[in-house]
A and B are shown apart, each in its own frame.
Chain A
């Protein structure tokens, strides 16, 4: 099946993290069925990277290398990953993913926040499963409202946020504290003239809950 206009639109939306429900499943299905869908997926990411990093345009990835790596990774067993143990593994997508880095529990110590942690490099390889799995982790797990259950958040809560380095994983707990700081910390003479607007406008990561 040639990718219809619809498929490429779906993949564009997927790359932007805008898909949910049936569309999401359809996009995953398309990736599993269709090599050119994968090519579109890679291209959309390249476009996204280039748009996000005007200073250092993304180098075109070596697609042949990625393909080989993907094959090797696909052959790797999924044993002991966060996905398996969570019992919520995404639909296996032929030839695309299965990458152990989605094991959030083994990564929460890694400096995902560091400026030079190039999350998008990882995303380029394994974006589908990794990003979607993390999005699932983050959505719905956050503590209700601004009374975050601060001490109860599990270690694996992570949020994908935009950054100069492209989408990055940030600790969901830090997001909660940041929200609390913005809510109550606005004791500034500039608060009413613009601080409130700044904080209200300031981006809530799409999958961050509240």
Chain B
């Protein structure tokens, strides 16, 4: 089976014999596949005992990528993504949210950069093959090298590397969350101009553009006194309170989101002014792969959230400090 993949006429990365692919080769291959294939499928996510699903249309034309996601469970949502531009239709509220997601453009720079750390904190292990949504897939496990992060078991389609199934595994290897295509039509005839047209049809909707102000933690007076192994600060935003009423927080107290990543897992630190009425109990909460803890820190209320073990979130919580 291995030599079949090796012989396949495919891009350089795909041509690397399966057994000699390093973690970066695998990740790059998965990434490339998502940028080169068009498909229609049904995607199912099960997390914390709840199950969600959506119908997906994905199309690539040149270096342009477009995706349409129609949720089949929960509140009805149509989400369109054109490169890093994301538009979410909420028909039940007659509201459209339009935003730019910089994180979508960060890869593969993340992987190519000289201080790429993924391979410092994860290793790759192969676990044979399987069939998912009708396609043959290699199973690859991204195994954390320490107890500070979760592992991932990835089913990647054999020919081009499209990710067809993904499990998030806790430190004992137990599945915390699973996402997979239940049905997949590769190389489906999806027309980008048609999706673009749908994405732009906002008649009758109120268009909202979330205001995010880029800042730095340091400028906001925050620091981590001890870095958490492998996690680097990626970005930091303030969310100005729209039309702040008298009851709203004063300027400078706008809630802050400070984002960290180790290349695979992300952690968000939210800081907002402490409010005795609402913030009455420090707690920790686990929802599938996403863990959350809340803490009071002097006059602030801190919520830390991420797809990492609770102990890692606690390191963030203990390390967070108001700059003197």
Contacts and interface: CB of A to CB of B under 8 A. Distances in A.
Interface centre among B101, B103, B111, B283 (most CB of A within 10 A): B103
A177 B49 CA distance: 21
Contact of B97 (A145, A153, A187): A145
A21 interface: no
Interface string B266-304: 111010110101101101011100101000000000010
Interface in A136-191: 143-155, 161-165, 173-174, 177-178, 180-181, 183-191
Contact of A113 (B44, B239, B285): B285
A23 to B, nearest CB: 15
B186 interface: no
B208 A145 contact: yes
Interface string B75-118: 10101010000000010010101010101101110110000001
A168 B88 CA distance: 26
B301 to A, nearest CB: 9
Nearest to B283: A113
A118 interface: no
Given A190-B264, A197-B43, A144 B27 contact: no
B185 interface: no
Contacts of B97: 145-146, 210
Interface string B240-278: 111011011100011101010101111110101101011
Contact of A204 (B30, B77, B95): B77
B81 to A, nearest CB: 7
B53 A201 contact: yes
A209 interface: yes
Contact size range, B: 35 or more
Contact of B50 (A153, A180, A203): A203
B129 interface: no
A118 to B, nearest CB: 13
Contact of B210 (A146, A188, A192, A202): A146
A200 B54 contact: yes
A3 interface: no
A192 B303 CA distance: 26
Contacts of A164: 48-50
B169 interface: no
A189 to B, nearest CB: 5
Contacts, number: 220
Contact of B255 (A109, A150, A163, A206): A150
A39 interface: no
A109 B265 CA distance: 31
A168 to B, nearest CB: 10
Contact of B163 (A163, A193, A203, A206): A193
A198 B45 contact: yes
B278 A202 contact: no
A155 B255 contact: no
Given A200-B69, A201-B45, A151 B248 contact: yes
A145 B31 contact: no
| Interface range, A side | 35 or more
B146 to A, nearest CB: 18
A14 interface: no
A174 B285 contact: yes
A48 interface: no
Given A109-B280, A151-B253, A188-B261, A200 B79 contact: yes
A44 interface: no
Most B CB within 10 A of own CB, among A52, A165, A177, A201:
A201
Contact of A190 (B73, B99, B163): B163
A150 B266 contact: no
Interface of B: 27, 30-31, 33-35, 43-45, 47-54, 56, 67, 69, 71, 73-75, 77, 79, 81, 90, 93, 95, 97, 99, 101, 103-104, 106-108, 110-111, 118, 152, 154, 162-163, 166, 179, 208-212, 234-235, 237, 239-242, 244-245, 247-249, 253-255, 257, 259, 261, 263-268, 270, 272-273, 275, 277-278, 280-281, 283, 285-287, 290, 292, 303, 305-306
29 contacts: A109-B280, A147-B242, A149-B248, A150-B254, A152-B244, A152-B245, A152-B248, A178-B292, A178-B305, A185-B261, A187-B103, A187-B261, A188-B264, A190-B166, A191-B107, A192-B107, A193-B33, A193-B162, A197-B56, A197-B67, A198-B43, A200-B71, A201-B45, A201-B52, A203-B74, A204-B77, A205-B74, A206-B75, A209-B93
Interface of A: 52, 108-109, 111, 113, 115, 143-155, 161-165, 173-174, 177-178, 180-181, 183-194, 196-198, 200-210
